[in-house]
Amino acid sequence: AQTVTQSQPEMSVQEAETVTLSCTYDTSESDYYLFWYKQPPSRQMILVIRQEAYKQQNATENRFSVNFQKAAKSFSLKISDSQLGDAAMYFCAYRTSGNTPLVFGKGTRLSVIA
Amino acid sequence: DAGVTQSPTHLIKTRGQQVTLRCSPKSGHDTVSWYQQALGQGPQFIFQYYEEEERQRGNFPDRFSGHQFPNYSSELNVNALLLGDSALYLCASSFLFANTGELFFGEGSRLTVL
């Protein structure tokens, strides 16, 4: 069964600094998607960034970027120029192609210090 | 463009009661998935509906059932509530033939079982 592991239950970062959240996953599939979702206190899961496994280039969305290491099954999220609004739970998630369910990690709570 | 909407936002039930949660998917989406998120945990997949049929199911007992209507909206029913059913229930929608793999989430229904 596929599993997603986030080894950092909590992280903190100073405003304007950079922080990296870690994620590893286990799968025997070759075609899959990886995601980072943000869940603020409002509870709604918001997609931060997406990576297709067949793409070697790391995805980037403004201040958010990933380091995707397929052989190592690692998918870390880097947040640059951290802002107070970045404070939230961050979930790493995986799904294979074919409309299969998302498998989530347990999350990392990110605090941003002013 | 309305996103995924869920109702009710909060509800309190007692053990043994039954509950129905409702979800309207994002416009253009035809697939609805339900997830249970216990406090401090990542979401766990309950089941997925497409074309008014349950297509995939996670490791949840038969007390959890659902329905999808012709307009793609969906209900989650939980019978014989247990204390352990207290959680945030998230609805997510997608388009079956989308190639992005992304799910769009609602804000969830917070269920408390006393």
Q: Which of B24, B42, B46 is nearest to B33 (CA)?
A: B46
Q: What confidence tier does B1 reach under pLDDT thresholds 50, 70, 90?
A: low
Q: Give the chain A residue nearest B95 (alpha carbons).
A: A99
Cβ A43–B94 below 8 Å, yes or no? no
Give the residue numbers in B contacting A (CB under 8 Å), as ranges: 31, 33, 35, 40-45, 48, 50, 55-56, 58, 88, 90, 92, 94, 96, 100-108, 110
Q: What is the 3-state secondary structure (H, E, C) of chain A?
A: CCEEECCCCEEEEECCCCEEECCEEECCCCCEEEEEEEECCCCCCEEEEEEECCCCCCCEECCEEEEEECCCCEEEEEECCCCHHHCEEEEEEEEECCCCCCEECCCEEEEEEC
CA distance A52 to chain B (A): 8
Selecting from A50, A91, A95 the residue whose C-beta is nearest the C-beta of B42 gives A91
Quick: pLDDT tens for B3-42: 999 999 999 999 999 999 999 999 989 999 999 999 989 9
Smallest Cα–Cα separation from B35: which of B58, B14, B18?
B58
Q: Dump pLDDT digits (tens) for A20-76.
A: 999 999 999 888 999 999 999 878 899 999 999 999 899 999 999 999 999 999 999
H/E stretch holding B10 reads strand B10-13
**Which residues in chain A have Cβ-Cβ distances shorter than 8 Å to B56?**
100-101
CB contact under 8 A, A43 and B31: no
Do residue A99 and residue B92 have CB atoms under 8 angstroms apart? no
Mean pLDDT of A14-20: 98
Residue A50 contacts B, CB cutoff 8 Å: yes
| Per-residue pLDDT reduced to its tens digit, B93-107 | 998 777 677 889 999
Q: What is the mean pLDDT of residues B80-86?
A: 98
What's the mean per-residue pLDDT of chain A? 94
Q: From chain B, pick out residues whose CB is under 8 angstroms from the CB of A102.
A: 33, 35, 43, 45, 92, 103
Look at B42 and A106 and tell me if their CB atoms are within 8 Å.
yes
